Structure 1
């Protein structure tokens, strides 16, 4: 017999994850598409293609592996397009999208990416995850400067519900937050005309400069700043799906949706963490249903892209960001605990956490990858110094024997 309350909670968590993922970066996708000459109809095609790819893969992979595998669009990739796609046509950009997707597929088929990731200690991955999510947790309290009553009430409701009905804590703060926002005049439901979006085919044009300036950087950024944190989130929650197969599938689906504006899809990080919290389900083996729910909302998001963009943009930003931050409290806490649980890796985990939590960026690569590298370098230095000290201690000391003085 099905638990209606539990099903509603999974749907609610899926809605929150989709809402956060959509509203947090849809403006970047809009700007990237417009910069390439797209009109509003073509922008909706981009969202439709991405929603279709994300929804089908999230639902399919989660159900097949019974693990909360959430696929999202590449937010840093969208930001990259705004700056790197200038001077190229939309057809050349689509050709570059396919190049990036092809490289992701190859990395999955060869298995080299998974082999590298598996050599990274789990404490480093957990520290990186905590660093990535830290700003979202802190932002809950920063938002109180803008909307004190709204955010503080949501926080209090969360703390109370975590004690008396933890499975429905997120549902409670969503209802309370939306109601308060409406009462305060922060949320006005717009007049909507629900229309079904259309997929518009864009003929790819193969251009070497576009592949070099868009395709290759898009691949590197997607792998470094999206897939690596996505894997870290899975590992932190003790989920071990076959990463190479997932990379292959997302790469192939990416190739299919690229001609319609699907520039890059990858393992989700932030939204995936929302689906893996105890609020999604007290049983970790059942949390994949939250990812399935999110995938369903991604499909709906794509189908009604034009209408949903208007509706979601009307929600107050403080409500969306507070929902995201509060939903990630549990993940931040468990990640920090796991990162510093072993003395052997504490220094490396600290370096990873601090660098990742910073705003450090170099060569268009964000702090997540640099944080992981900082932790690995710290471990390497510690290992090298330790080995050198052992050799010094094992080396026999030089003793000079002076013959006794013989008197005549």
Structure 2
């Protein structure tokens, strides 16, 4: 039996993981909740419930399997919900439950990996890229409003990657806050302390909302979070951890806590690798202790749920747009690269990306769903044409 030991490297890795997670997601989650008309107490509940759910599952699963398992929210899923029109919070809540129920069903039935292979990764990446392109382009819209602020943030992010890539988001945050303070853009009078809140929102089931929000959220969580997360675990040598209990537990957590604002809890993908490297601990069997620290930090962030919302309300819109947009540059680049990686699917990927980015609404259903659906149809049409040529 491995004797648990704590070290400074465990804590450093956990702190880095929590900063990356919150630094890249807090603003996006805030904007997504606002798109559905959430009130400040409800937005506070989103942060509190997400932090609690992720903390409990990260702690339990890491200790259960003695493996550095990180559970997080679906940041790309939050991004696709920003600026959605005509969907109220109760309807969105029902869609969150529906997305989690789909994930639960496919995991319980053993169809989890099979479904992931049925949806071409290139098309799923193109769908997400289409959503994120609009998101990332808002950085330059914000630059028109606050040129100095946004330019300094962008330069800091790019230049810090030369030597301190892991901390580029942190440096960008520091420069952004400092510049906004000196330009007198911070509404410091709005900074207030409030205890964490959990506000129940009764779900209202609406078919259009479930298709517009639930289906894209399910696919995004599957393709960009759960499947890559399991691959990262395997890549770091943790080959004995079964995927089913990990995916099932996160799906159940979402279904239970979605009315409190936990819109999609799943396995963390890229940020999870922060606690898995040899720099965390030379002994792979002890690296899970970093995730114990990570769970503790999650619980601390849960206690600060109200303060996080107060801080976001005090920030200028240009700063919020820049933080969210620049934070997804890496994800956007990765998805664009993946979307064009296979010549046979490039046309379908292009159509998926354009349709997803269009923002169109047909039959009350949003562009992310239609982009993927049209892309899959084009993909199979091209496959049929190629077979006829032979």
TM range (shorter): 0.7 to 0.9
Deviations, residues 190-226 of structure 1 (Å, cap 9, x unaligned): 3655343355678x8xxxxx86x34x65654454221
* Correspondent of 1:233 among 217, 221, 224: 224
Change (3 A) 1:262 1:252: same
What residue number does 2:263 align with? 265
Alpha-carbon distance, 1:254 to partner: 3.2
Offset of residue 374 of structure 1: 2.3
Gap change, CA 1:139 and 1:20, over 3 Å in 2 = same
Q: Are 1:16 and 2:23 an aligned pair?
A: yes
The answer to whether the 8 A contact 2:54-2:71 is kept is no
The separation in 2 between residues aligned to 1:72 and 1:133, in whole angstroms, is 14
Distance 1:199 1:337, change over 3 A: closer
Per the TM alignment, residue 186 of structure 1 is displaced from its structure 2 partner at its CA by: 0.8
Give the secondary-structure state (helix, strand or coil) at the position aligned to 1:225. Answer: helix
SS for the counterpart of 1:197 is coil
Structure 1 segment 32-111 matched on structure 2, within 5 A? 32=38, 48-57=48-57, 66=68, 69-72=71-74, 76=81, 82-83=87-88, 105-111=104-110
How far 1:151 moved relative to its partner? Answer: 0.4
Contact 1:226–1:268 (8 Å) recurs in 2: no
- Greater CA radius of gyration, 1 or 2? 1
CA distance 1:306–1:70, shift in 2 (3 Å): closer
User: Do the aligned partners of 1:138 and 1:325 also contact (CA within 8 Å) in 2?
Assistant: yes
For 1:289 and 1:21, locate their aligned partners in 2 and report how far apart those are by CA, in whole Å.
29
Q: What per-residue deviation string (whole Å, max 9, x for no partner) do you get for residues 169-208 of structure 1?
A: 2111111110000111111333655343355678x8xxxx
Residue 300 of structure 1 and its aligned partner are, at CA, apart by 4.2
The answer to whether the Cα contact below 8 Å between 2:52 and 2:298 also exists between their aligned partners in 1 is yes
Instruction: Establish whether residue 26 from structure 1 lines up as the match of residue 33 from structure 2.
Output: yes
How much does 1:140 deviate?
A: 1.5
Q: Is the 8 A contact 1:100 1:218 kept in 2?
A: no
Distance (Å, rounded) in 1 between the aligned partners of 2:108 and 2:275? 33
| Alpha-carbon distance change, 143 to 129 in structure 1, aligned in 2, over 3 angstroms | same
Deviations along 1:371-392, one digit per CA (max 9) or x if unpaired, are 22222212211121222233xx
- Name the TM-score, length of structure 1 as normaliser: 0.70
Q: In the alignment, what sits opposite 2:141?
A: 142
Which structure 2 residues correspond to residues 139-178 of structure 1 after superposition, within 5 A?
Answer: 139-178=138-177
Structure-1 residue corresponding to 2:238: none
State the shift of 1:141 in Å: 1.5
- Per the alignment, residue 344 of structure 1 pairs with 344
Partner-residue secondary structure (3-state), 2:264? strand
| Cα distance change of structure 1 residues 136 and 199 upon mapping to structure 2, 3 Å threshold | closer
1:380 corresponds to: 380
Q: Deviations over 1:262-291 (max 9, x none)?
A: 26532579xx688479xx799699899999
Q: Name the CA shift for 1:134/1:255 in 2 (closer, same or farther; >3 Å).
A: closer
Query: Would the aligned equivalents of 2:116 and 2:223 in 1 still touch at CA under 8 Å?
Result: no
Gaps of 5+ in 2: 1-6, 235-241, 281-286
Alignment check: 8 A CA contact 1:45 1:200 kept: yes
- Cα separation, 1, equivalents of 2:198 and 2:152: 42
1:43 and 1:94 mapped to 2: Cα distance?
13
Q: 1:268 to 1:364 in 2, by over 3 A?
A: farther
Q: Give the whole-Å Cα distance in 2 for the aligned partners of 1:171 and 1:367.
A: 33
TM-score where L is the length of structure 2: 0.73
**Which secondary structure state, in structure 2, belongs to the residue aligned with residue 326 of structure 1?**
helix
Residues 1:282 and 1:346: Cα distance change in structure 2 (over 3 Å): farther
- Match of 1:313, SS state, is helix
- 3-state secondary structure, aligned to 1:70: strand
Per the alignment, residue 358 of structure 1 pairs with: 358
Tell me: CA distance 1:268–1:109, structure 2 relative to 1, closer, same or farther (3 Å).
closer
